[in-house]
Structure 1
Amino acid sequence: MAKRDYYDVLGIPKGSSADEIKKAYRKMAIKYHPDKNPDDKQAEENFKEAAEAYEVLSSPEKRQRYDQFGHAANASSANGGGYGGGMNMEDIFSQFGDIFGGGSPFDGFFGGGGQQRGGGRRVTKGSNLRIKVRLNLEEIANGAEKKIKVNKQVLCGTCDGTGAKDKSSFQTCKTCGGSGAVRRVTNTILGQMQTTSTCPTCNGEGTQITAKCNVCHGDGVVRGEETISINIPAGVSEGMQLSMSGKGNAAPRGGIPGDLIILIEEIPHETLKRDGNNVIYDLHISFIDAALGTSIEVPTIDGKAKIKIDPGTQGGRILRLKGKGVPEVNSYHRGDQLVHINIWTPKALSREERELLEKLQSSPNFKPNPGKHEKSFFERMKEYFE
């Protein structure tokens, strides 16, 4: 696939200044940052594409060559891969981590559970919460909305999560000057080496609190309760985990909230058994109904359904109710209900019943004949799934 024009990637005209290029890159990097778009491959590619464009356009020499030859200049590059090519995520963060002077271009926007890449101002992330949600078969088949009270860390209402007594309680960190990072220059045999690390005084926050909130004691969070509405899609199964972004514990001092992890637990049905997306029901009929045939109502997820028992039905036969099973998650396909026929035999007989059965016992129709029997249970199961 042909590469897009670098100016189009950053959304700027060709004659843009260095500051305009930097501002445009920062905007694109924030939009497609992997912390903001987890598990989004397209966002990751856009993020890399923006970094590649900035690498070229921020360098006067590379920009001049690009303006003259475009992407064709890659073929004559001495590194064999061309400018901007083959960049990975670590290259991007290490190379552009402090282009805005005082930490990463993403300072104040992303957390990742602690310190930012590049040693800039740190934004913390709250811890995740895990809860169990119990669902019956009807809720699993049709989807459900659950309102659940969750005990967790919430933002302090007194200080709005800042941890400070009031606005005047903040002061700029004197060690890092508010950047959240400190830089050190070390003389080595290769020359001077500059390193950037989180400020040890303010822990990367850039500010210090002179007077803490009396309620949260400077943490910015307190224990509280929140009612969360959870929309559970149809077709979930036992042990499946769902995630709600930002519904976990609040983070100290205005950080990013953690996630809420929902573990699905199925409540066994009284009469129906789930087998993947299919539902199984064991139907017991008398040998008289099996011999003469009948119509019987059976339970399903959606209520009652009437099925026909043909005369001469054998034990072990499987009847299928198409589309009466459980749907697949995020799909229109739905499983079936399989009705297993079982012949019920009475254990106690009256004298009249016994005499009647003894007369029938001598009839050829009541003597087993394997050659005339229908296919076995296992043969029918094999044919069904084939």
Structure 2
Amino acid sequence: MASRPRSAASAILFLLLFSCDVLISLAGQSYYDILQVPKGASDEQIKRAYRKLALKYHPDKNQGNEEANKRFAEINNAYEVLSDSEKRGIYDRYGEEGLKQHAASGGRGGGMGMNIQDIFESMFGGGGRMEEEEQIPKGDDVIVDLDATLEDLYMGGSLKIWREKNVIKPAPGKRKCNCRNEVYHRQIGPGMFQQMTEQVCEQCQNIKYEREGYHVTVDIEKGMQDGQVVNFFEDGEPKLDGEPGDLKFRIRTAPHDVFRREGNDLHTTVTITLVQALVGFEKTIKHLDEHLVDIGSKGITKPKEVRKFKGEGMPVYYNTKKGDLYVTFEVLFPSSLTEDQKSKIKSILG
């Protein structure tokens, strides 16, 4: 009889320890918080929230940004759990510790080891595993070529752009929306059935499009390259019963009076006199941030000679390094010489 109290005490102790673990696991940011959805969110809400956040924090769009990569991993982990009804149920009742114990006991799916890339591909069509009817309709993306000055691309800056787009507004009346095909069977004879498909629609608030304008501030980061995109998610064309497209500004380097850009390098041409080419010269050029670069020489400079000035090029995007500056020297020859000048030159160089 003495073993029963000890057995009951052990069970109570186990429950207390388990409850503490659950409370600790719930003390941090929940999976619902990570996906920015309420606890009672529908599967569709979870899917839409994941799609938006995964696109925003995808490593391809945040190269070198460790914080974004960490956020992307958290988003995928949260979606893996909340998109699975069994795992979600365990998580809602017992938290992360419950999921760990479920995986350790050989629960369905063998644990939490699904590859992040598999989740992303299944969500966005890369792996072909997502049913077409499950994809969320999306409006058109708006792509705008944006001319950025070399100064902004060298030092960083921002551009304020006027944007006009269609905005969905409520309108009188009702309309058909959320239409879907439903399958049912109709008996056409004894023991004979025919499969039928019928379109079913809901009645939703009517809407209309109105044109609205506003300013968008586009941040130009140091070292951005031609073709790089600054994305404003869901700021493109709207879509009835779907998500808006994205507004994308595609960077294009504007022509510059002094410098020409090639990747991370800068090129410029400097003209010197024949005397300077022969005896040397002192000269500086003003850079994009107005610091002076010494390009002088004490020796002979040949026509079309190119000299490299290391580290005086463009900043490398998301890096502390810089490219190089290449200066091409043009030598300005005199248009004519007097007989006396010719004689002196012959005596010196002959």
2:149 is equivalent to residue 136 of structure 1: yes
Summarize deviations over 1:188-221 as a string: whole Å, max 9, x none: 9xxxxxx9x9x8353xxx4335xxxxxxxx4432
- Counterpart mapping for 1:33-44 below 5 A: 33-39=49-55, 40=58, 41-42=72-73, 43-44=75-76
Shift of 1:10: 9.4
Contact 1:9 1:50 in 2 (8 A): no
- Counterpart mapping for 1:102-251 below 5 A: 125-155=138-168, 161-162=169-170, 164-165=171-172, 169=173, 184-186=183-185, 200-202=199-201, 206-209=202-205, 218-251=206-239
2:26 is equivalent to residue 30 of structure 1: no
Q: Which runs of 5+ in 2 are unaligned?
A: 1-20, 28-37, 59-71, 124-129, 188-194
The whole-number CA distance in structure 1 between the counterparts of 2:228 and 2:111 is 45
- Counterpart mapping for 1:339-378 below 5 A: 339-362=327-350
Which residue of the partner structure matches residue 338 of structure 1? Answer: 326
Which residue of the partner structure matches residue 55 of structure 1? Answer: 86
Percentage identity across paired residues of the two chains: 18
Determine which structure has the larger helix proportion and give its number. Answer: 2
The whole-number CA distance in structure 2 between the counterparts of 1:187 and 1:82 is 42
Shift of 1:304: 6.2
Normalised by the length of structure 2, the TM-score is 0.62
The whole-number CA distance in structure 1 between the counterparts of 2:150 and 2:111 is 58
2:296 is equivalent to residue 309 of structure 1: yes
Which residue of the partner structure matches residue 34 of structure 2? Answer: none
Which residue of the partner structure matches residue 271 of structure 2? Answer: 284
SS in 1 for 2:245: coil
Normalised by the length of structure 1, the TM-score is 0.57
SS in 1 for 2:161: strand
Which residue of the partner structure matches residue 5 of structure 2? Answer: none
Contact 1:55 1:84 in 2 (8 A): no
Query: What is the aligned length?
Result: 280
Shift of 1:266: 2.1
Contact 1:290 1:311 in 2 (8 A): no
Contact 1:290 1:309 in 2 (8 A): no
The whole-number CA distance in structure 2 between the counterparts of 1:250 and 1:9 is 42
Which residue of the partner structure matches residue 269 of structure 1? Answer: 256
Which residue of the partner structure matches residue 73 of structure 1? Answer: 105
Summarize deviations over 1:122-168 as a string: whole Å, max 9, x none: 9754322121211222222122322222332123xxxxx23x32xxx
SS in 2 for 1:138: helix
SS in 2 for 1:338: strand
Instruction: Report the residue type matching 2:340 in the other structure.
Output: E
RMSD: 4.6
Instruction: Report the residue type matching 1:312 in the other structure.
Output: G
Q: 1:82 to 1:25 in 2, by over 3 A?
A: farther
Contact 1:56 1:84 in 2 (8 A): no
Instruction: Report the residue type matching 2:145 in the other structure.
Output: K
Shift of 1:280: 1.4
SS in 2 for 1:38: helix
Contact 1:32 1:46 in 2 (8 A): no
Shift of 1:295: 0.8
SS in 2 for 1:243: strand
Shift of 1:279: 0.9
Determine which structure has the larger strand proportion and give its number. Answer: 2
Contact 2:226 2:253 in 1 (8 A): yes
Summarize deviations over 1:273-328 as a string: whole Å, max 9, x none: 21211111222323422332221132422236252533323326544444432112
The whole-number CA distance in structure 1 between the counterparts of 2:301 and 2:237 is 59
Instruction: Report the residue type matching 2:316 in the other structure.
Output: E
Instruction: Report the residue type matching 2:86 in the other structure.
Output: E
